[in-house]
Amino acid sequence: MKSIKLRLILIFSIIILLVTSVIGIFSIEIISRQLIKDAHTNLVTLAQTESQIVIAKMNEEMSYMQGLAQNTVITGQSSDQQEQIAFAEKEAVRAGYQSYSIVDLKGNARVLDSAGTVMNLSDRTYFQTAAQGKPAISDIIIAKDTGKAVLVVAVPIYKDDIQIGVLCGSKSGDTLSEIAKNISYGETG
């Protein structure tokens, strides 16, 4: 009798162990899939939210540049070239720009710095867009004057409601990284 009792206990124990193991494996698989699905959904939502923040920041930069393009020092209505350069260098430091350039409608640019750098930007998409009267922001590009990665904000310059040129502001190529470094997901990332 002991042997039958022992065998029954052993058989039922094995059956219970197998059933609970199978249930445990299925539960882990279901929970893992749901966690992955939730993480994916949360990351998509986070990416959409953060992209709106980046768009808002870029719109803010365009608005700032449009305001600057209306300044009489920039339009040349109340200043000479030296006053433009002094104003632009001081404003660039204050606003976090590397430099500003005034570009005629043919693409000939004069960097507003003491070096007096000149270049032609007619081949740049951001210039072409701004020359058509629409503000533009470039992708991260290599600047012709410095050879460094930059993000350029370009806006039309108007004088008496006639477009006379384009104002370009160059920001560090790390600008988007600086915005993105504040983005995190969870505790580590």
pLDDT per residue, tens digit, the chain (189 aa), is 568 888 888 898 999 999 999 999 999 999 999 999 998 998 888 888 888 888 888 899 999 999 999 988 888 766 678 888 889 999 999 999 999 999 999 999 999 888 888 999 999 999 999 999 999 999 989 888 788 899 999 999 998 889 999 999 999 888 777 777 776 666 655
Identify the pLDDT of residue 188: 59
Largest Cα span, the chain:
113
Question: Residue written as tokens 């922001």?
Answer: 137
For residue 65, give every residue at least 6 positions away whose Cβ sits within 8 Å of its Cβ, in sequence order, or none.
135, 153, 154, 155, 167, 169
Tell me whether residue 187 is exposed, middle or buried, using C-beta atoms within 10 angstroms of its C-beta: 0 to 12, 13 to 18, 19 or more: exposed
Among the listed residues 141, 144, 164, 161, the one whose alpha carbon sits nearest the alpha carbon of residue 153: 141
Q: What is the distance between the alpha carbons of residues 165 and 93, in angstroms, rounded to a whole number?
A: 23
For 165, phi then psi, to 5°, come to 170, -160
- Which of 12, 175, 1 shows the shortest CA–CA distance to 96? 175
In sequence order, the 6+-apart residues with CB closer than 8 A to the CB of 41 are none
Least Cα distance to 150 among 159, 158, 160, 140 occurs for 140
